[in-house]
A and B are shown apart, each in its own frame.
Chain A
């Protein structure tokens, strides 16, 4: 039976790290990519990211959030990085679960759509879903995940999977 989803790379942090970058991502053989994160940060901090090192104003998102009391929705256009989280951010005490799907990641004829589910099960953090767009027709060959002024804590695990074409 052919594999539909292949584990490409993974890291479990033995100590804190300010960023994690997956590079040399193959552009043939896989149609979509998936990132799965289970972890904690040093303190409350919004997960950010870039594709192919692009620092231009090419990142857009729409987000919906529930924090256990209130619902929210927000949209941001023309940002210089993906803001993967809004309220349901990482924090220093409760493990977050994050899945990020990069659809048609190897395509060179379209902008890249990204779907993210993130959850930090603590009041005033909560659960979120976002749809994002990277305004580039380049195939994704690298993706970075980072915070501003904060780090991933030890025991955080980040895995990259490829969905076979």
Chain B
């Protein structure tokens, strides 16, 4: 199977400081995180950290009226505590070659938020974690805390060959 669920976390009542995936095995090719997340404060952005440290990246977001591009730490948009109740932002993070010990780690983030009748966001991020260590921990939402019922699932993606397809 090319995609395998490694772990899934749902935040309980009262919220949490972050969502943490730890002791990530180095046996896959790539990692993918899919999340439904809401900040515990009014910031419309939050962050992702690898082995406890942030990356950096190029970020583009649209709000329905205009588009903006920035150099950022590895941000993505979320629903905030000020947004429509019971509404969560969603994001997918893809990290190729996360277990490499010889290269820095580039990654991508696609994210959307929703907020009835007012500004919401869609964003894309090209990120990089400038560290040659294998990624064994991923932390979501530490910048602002995560609200109760936020959730995230970590998947491992494994390359391979099914036979028949040629590569040249």
Contact = CB atoms under 8 A, between A and B. Distances in A.
Interface of A: 1, 3-11, 20-26, 36-38, 64-71, 88, 94-97, 99, 117-123, 125-129, 155, 157, 159-162
Given A71-B69, A127-B60, A121 B127 contact: yes
B3 A4 contact: yes
What is the predominant secondary structure among interface residues of chain A facing chain B?
strand
Contacts of B167: 9-11, 20-23, 160
Contacts of A157: 29, 96-97, 159
A66 B60 contact: yes
6 contacts: A5-B3, A6-B1, A26-B164, A67-B69, A121-B55, A123-B71
Interface residues of B, number: 43
Question: What 9 pairs across the A-B complex have the smallest Cβ distances?
Answer: A119-B126, A66-B60, A66-B69, A38-B96, A127-B126, A7-B160, A10-B159, A121-B128, A9-B165
Contact of B60 (A10, A22, A64): A64
A129 B69 contact: no
Contact of B67 (A8, A36, A66, A121): A66
Interface in B81-128: 94, 96-97, 102-108, 110, 124-128
B103 A97 contact: no
Interface of B: 1-3, 29-30, 55-60, 67-71, 94, 96-97, 102-108, 110, 124-128, 157-162, 164-168
Contacts, number: 161
Nearest to B160: A7
Given A119-B106, A126-B58, A97 B96 contact: yes
A151 B118 CA distance: 47
B80 to A, nearest CB: 22
Contact of A3 (B2, B55, B97): B2
B2 A5 contact: yes
A121 B36 CA distance: 25
Contacts of B166: 9, 21-24
Nearest to A160: B165
Given A4-B3, A117-B124, A121-B128, A71 B60 contact: yes
A120 B164 CA distance: 32
A126 B159 contact: no
Contact of A97 (B1, B67, B126): B126
Nearest to A20: B167
Contact of B58 (A3, A24, A122): A122
B106 A121 contact: yes
